[in-house]
Amino acid sequence: MNGAPCYRVESVPDQVWWYGRIVRCIDKKNYLPRRTEYYDRAGLLFKLRTFDRVETIHSYPTPVEITMKTLPARTWSRIILRQVEYDTGLTEGLFQMP
């Protein structure tokens, strides 16, 4: 993926599901799924998600630009993250158990 060595991981659901197969290109260095291909049950590539830009923020590899394309409809969405912060000191009191 963009010159970075990747593991190719294929998942096939054992039950009927929307996708018949998912193929991920996992970055060998940081283990992020840099490219994910979603195939329909007929075996045609239906969606494609890519991490177009990854930055290291506070030592965490973070996808800051993500694209999802729906190929048959020729549509796409892009998410751009800004001001990402980690380890901000959230207290346990912010979360409640059901």
Q: Name the residue range of residue 38's domain.
A: 6-83
10 Å Cβ neighbour count for 29? Answer: 10
Residue at 36: amino acid letter: T
Higher-pLDDT residue of 52 and 89 is 52
Mean pLDDT of 71-98: 90
pTM for this structure?
0.83
88 domain-assigned: no
77 domain-assigned: yes
In the predicted structure, residue 89 carries a pLDDT above the cut 90 = no
Predicted pLDDT at 1: 61
Q: What is the mean pLDDT of the chain?
A: 92
Number of domains in the chain: 1
10 Å Cβ neighbour count for 50? Answer: 20
In the predicted structure, residue 58 carries a pLDDT above the cut 80 = yes
In the predicted structure, residue 52 carries a pLDDT above the cut 80 = yes
Mean pLDDT of 14-39: 93
Tokens of 47: 């969606």
90 domain-assigned: no
